[in-house]
Amino acid sequence: MATEPVSTQYLLAQFSSYPNRASSEIKTSINNLLQRSLIEKNSQDMGEVFFTVDPVIKNYLNKRLYQGG
């Protein structure tokens, strides 16, 4: 899990190895996560948008990952 904010371009690049996933589908997924408050959207550096995992969600995921379920 990324600990620093990541850009939309970074996320699209991470999923580029999945040829069946259109960038519009990935953007829709990002919007769904935003609506559910599972990620946060931040604008930085000349208006580029970055995303982070909500701290509460990050804490929960870390506990689940490191405790094995």
Interval 21-41: pLDDT, tens: 777 888 888 899 999 988 898
Interatomic CA distance for residues 37 and 33, integer angstroms: 6
Residues of the chain above pLDDT 90, percent: 9
Q: What is the pLDDT of residue 1?
A: 57
Mean pLDDT for the stretch of residues 9-18: 81
